[in-house]
Amino acid sequence: MQSTIAYTLEEIARIHGDGAAVHAAGQHERVSMGAWYEGRKEYSGVVRRVPDGAGAPDGLTLPGAAPTPSGTSLPPWLGQDGVIDLSLVPLDDEATYEMIRTTNTLGVFQIESPGQRELIGKLAPTEFNDLIIDISLFRPGPMQSDMVRPFLEQRHGFAEEAYPHPDLAPILAETHGVVVFHEQVLRMLDVMTGCGLAQADVLRRRLGNPAKEPAVERFFRAETLKRGYPLPIIDRVWATLAAFGSFGFCKAHGAAFAVPTYHSAWLKTHHPEAFLAGLFEHDPGMYPRRLLIAEARRLGVPLLPLDVNHSGRRFAVEEIPGAPGVEAVPGVRASGKLGVRLALSLITSLSEAEAVRLEAGAPYDSVADVRDRARPTRTNLRRLAQLGALDRFLVKGAGGRADLVHHLDAQREGLMNGVGARRGAGASGSRKAVRRQVDGQLALPLGVDLETSALTPLFPEPTPTQRIREELDLTAADLSGHLMSAHHAFLDKVGATPSDRLLTLRSGSRVLVAGVRVATQTPPMRSGERVVFLSLDDGHGCVDIAFFTQAQHATGPLLFASNLMLVEGVTRRTGPRAVSVQALKAWDLQGPNAALPGADYLERTEGEWRAALRRDPELTVPGEAGGWYRGIVRAGANGATAAELAPAGALAPTRAGSGAAAGRGARRRVAGAVVGRPVPWRPGDGSDATGGGGDGLGALGESRVKKAGGMG
């Protein structure tokens, strides 16, 4: 509920941000004060105004902050109490933009999805206005009106800026001749029809409405013809306006999104520990928490283990005294390494009440102390032991974590079987001495100090792989290591490429990549073709993979069923610092070893591939020089066919399913193609297959080219 003031001006419902102030000033007659329920704002015809500061934190306190002596020189955004005021953070921090240009933006508001990471890599922002444009471009309107590719080409100088008409140059100069913002639509309508900005907004609102848009088109064409604009120009501008419709952003809206985008990128750049702790706690965005934990490892942020004496309900940043790391902030923080302490809330079965009791009762001096005062369930006490939260109570030379878990299991089994002595003195909650356990007698279920020093080391400790799987079962995250670590030896054997090395390869290189599935998307494509986009995490980063129709058929059901995948594909450069993979086929890493490729899989000669092509004319195969080839079937006069290879760039774009085997005659060649030599990346050309990669460019753009390997 909120107080507003609204009045009608040229058919538009308007709002003033402070109705009380306007009313007190006495500047308007017949002022109507009203309140609307937020969910009904569309029916009232007014726009909701978010109160200042709503949904945003007042400030962020630096870890280890301490009061700063007066007179100490600090950055303007850092208060004497160590609190960061994000509203004072400079918007021109080069380190922040450099991080954004690397596309390592997992967790960053608005620009973490595969499609946005692809776009941000191509756009290469250098200032705040670039972020506004990026967010505004990543919308159905600009995508459907094919504005992304021309914008990128003209921004980077690969094409001259082109304006539909000189009258529109001042309006579109900011965005290199491309319509991006609502304000540009209004000004274009005003300039070309003379209708005024208020009426132009009415017309804009009617775009995209099937019942009202025809009337807007009739008005636009009639008025522009009266003002002497040529019909081809009118057609071109109207096509842009109609496609843009009402799906774009006004610039103010884009700026409102760009502010938290920049702030989150700034925090990731300068305070990654606090940034990641916040992400772990609130778990926003499109990726699972386990991928963000892998991102912490990639950034070198220590993950401090679960510990009943240090872990609370929430993730927290802790200093690691004496460790080399962050530089000192005068008067605020001594130098030292910072880490993120894992939270008790990670344990999926632990209730909020149990976590509160565990946090409130710390510190503890024994397992029995934890059990007596925090009173976790037997299941959760066991899980605390499994995850290492009770390791501090183990005694060197005695039993280890596995022995403690077995001891707790024996207790539980004894309780279920009705075995055990009567409750002793320690059962009341006192931590005084309790009677010692008799040989062969099971421990009491409650109130008895488990003498960990008396545990006999009988059971082997779990292997790293077993420990990781246990963590995944209990927390849905691999905390002590990465799930893919168990497969490194095999991946090295078959020559799989880590995600952080893909950028070192030429576009069109044949590769094997592997990882844990972290995202799957099947967005609608303007071409009507279904494309499946996967994001795999291999512990070195995230690799985005596009499965077109042929690859989907080759992969089969495991495309959606497997969580650990090995994928064969070809690299596709999507920007100076961005790369994705166009898949050919995939395997389940957890499947039978006999089904997986062998050590020589990537070393097959072109002759072997040519022989395979004769068996399967639709096959797309790699070339020896790093290029990529597709089969051509030529029909002779007698009806016989012959298969041959040609470089991908020498083939006209084709739709999936329109293979040579399906029809006669040769596909036409494109002059100037060089066998095995990929064309350097440039924004918007066929090599980046705008619309073929990522969830945004792919979801909203068109898969215009289907060149093998994405080569030009």
**Confidence band of 61 (pLDDT split at 50, 70, 90):** low
In a domain, 386, yes or no: no
Statement to judge: residues 668 and 596 lie in one domain: yes
**Confidence band of 24 (pLDDT split at 50, 70, 90):** low
Among 28-37, 162-171, 301-310, 335-344, which is the least confidently predicted range?
Answer: 28-37
Q: What confidence score (pLDDT) does residue 398 get? A: 82
In a domain, 260, yes or no: no
Decide which of 424 and 478 is more confident: 478
**Confidence band of 632 (pLDDT split at 50, 70, 90):** very low
Find all residues with CB under 8 Å of 370, minimum gap 6, and list them: 308, 358, 361, 364, 376, 381, 384, 390
| Count of the separate structural domains present in the chain | 3
Distance of CA 186 to the CA centre of its chain: 33
What are residue 510's DSSP bridge partners?
A: 570
pLDDT in tens, 544-593: 999 999 899 988 888 999 999 999 999 988 777 788 999 999 999 987 76
- List % helix, strand, coil for the chain (3-state, nearest 5): 40, 15, 45
Q: What confidence score (pLDDT) does residue 676 get? A: 30
Among 229-233, 352-356, 362-366, 622-626, which is the least confidently predicted range?
Answer: 622-626
Does 57 have pLDDT greater than 80?
A: no
Q: What confidence score (pLDDT) does residue 608 get? A: 61
Statement to judge: residues 612 and 703 lie in one domain: yes
Q: What confidence score (pLDDT) does residue 615 get? A: 57
Does 640 have pLDDT greater than 80?
A: no
Q: What confidence score (pLDDT) does residue 692 get? A: 34
Q: What confidence score (pLDDT) does residue 269 get? A: 95
List the domain range (segments joined by +) for residue 15.
3-44
CB 664 within 8 A of CB 642: no
In a domain, 428, yes or no: no
336: which DSSP letter? B
Statement to judge: residues 21 and 138 lie in one domain: no
CB 434 within 8 A of CB 424: yes
Decide which of 5 and 136 is more confident: 136
In a domain, 543, yes or no: yes
**Contacts for 22-25: CB closer than 8 Å, 24+ residues apart:** none
Q: What confidence score (pLDDT) does residue 418 get? A: 53
Statement to judge: residues 652 and 507 lie in one domain: yes
> Can you read off the two tokens belonging to residue 77?
């955004």
At 699, which CATH number? 2.40.50.140
**Beta-strand pair 510-521/532-537:** antiparallel
452: which DSSP letter? G
Q: What confidence score (pLDDT) does residue 636 get? A: 38
| Amino acid symbol at 274 | A
Q: What confidence score (pLDDT) does residue 322 get? A: 64
CB 379 within 8 A of CB 415: no
Does 31 have pLDDT greater than 70?
A: no
What are residue 643's DSSP bridge partners?
A: 633
Statement to judge: residues 536 and 611 lie in one domain: yes
**Confidence band of 100 (pLDDT split at 50, 70, 90):** very high
CB 447 within 8 A of CB 372: yes
> What is this structure's pTM?
0.72
Statement to judge: residues 154 and 19 lie in one domain: no
Q: At which of 44, 59, 75 does a domain end?
A: 44
| Amino acid symbol at 381 | L
**Confidence band of 74 (pLDDT split at 50, 70, 90):** confident
Share of the chain above pLDDT 70, in %: 65
Statement to judge: residues 39 and 98 lie in one domain: no
Three-state secondary structure along 5-60? EEEEECCEEEEECCHHHHHHHCCCCCCEEEECCHHHHHHHCCCCCCCCCCCCCCCE
Whose structure tokens read 């062998």? Answer: 598
Statement to judge: residues 158 and 35 lie in one domain: no
The CA-to-CA distance between both ends of the chain, in Å, stands at 56
CB 475 within 8 A of CB 303: no
Three-state secondary structure along 370-399? HHHHHCCCHHHHHHHHHCCCCHHHCCCCCC
Q: At which of 238, 254, 270 does a domain end?
A: 254
State the Cα angle at 660 between 655 and 666, rounded to 5°.
105
Whose structure tokens read 């283990």? Answer: 305
**Confidence band of 677 (pLDDT split at 50, 70, 90):** very low
Helix (H) or strand (E) segment spanning residue 316: strand 316-320
**Confidence band of 324 (pLDDT split at 50, 70, 90):** low
Mean pLDDT value of segment 243-253: 78
Decide which of 614 and 618 is more confident: 614
In a domain, 416, yes or no: no
In a domain, 271, yes or no: no
Q: What confidence score (pLDDT) does residue 249 get? A: 78
Statement to judge: residues 134 and 7 lie in one domain: no
Does 204 have pLDDT greater than 60?
A: yes
Decide which of 312 and 620 is more confident: 312
Whose structure tokens read 């650990």? Answer: 564
Q: What is the CA radius of gyration of the chain?
A: 31
In a domain, 347, yes or no: no
CA distance 483 to 491: 13
Q: What confidence score (pLDDT) does residue 429 get? A: 36
Statement to judge: residues 652 and 568 lie in one domain: yes
In a domain, 165, yes or no: yes
Q: What confidence score (pLDDT) does residue 614 get? A: 57
Instruction: Assign residue 13 a region (left: φ > 0; alpha: ψ between -120 and 50; beta: otherwise).
Output: beta
Statement to judge: residues 164 and 28 lie in one domain: no
Decide which of 599 and 217 is more confident: 217
Selection from 556, 476, 560 nearest residue 288 by Cα: 476
Mean pLDDT value of segment 500-511: 90
CB 10 within 8 A of CB 199: yes
**Confidence band of 323 (pLDDT split at 50, 70, 90):** low
Residue 195's SS3 state is coil
Statement to judge: residues 226 and 148 lie in one domain: yes
Q: How many CB atoms lie within 10 A of CB 524?
A: 12
Q: At which of 254, 289, 308 does a domain end?
A: 254
pLDDT in tens, 404-460: 999 888 877 765 555 443 333 333 333 333 333 333 434 444 444 445 777 888 899
CB 175 within 8 A of CB 181: yes
Selection from 91, 90, 66, 94 nearest residue 79 by Cα: 66
Bond prior to 523 in cis (omega within 30° of 0): no
Mean pLDDT value of segment 46-66: 41
Does 401 have pLDDT greater than 70?
A: yes
Selection from 459, 460, 458, 478 nearest residue 469 by Cα: 478
User: What is the residue-averaged pLDDT of the chain?
Assistant: 74
Give me the sign of the Cα torsion angle 587, 588, 590, 593. negative
Selection from 585, 569, 597 nearest residue 507 by Cα: 569
Whose structure tokens read 């009988």? Answer: 458
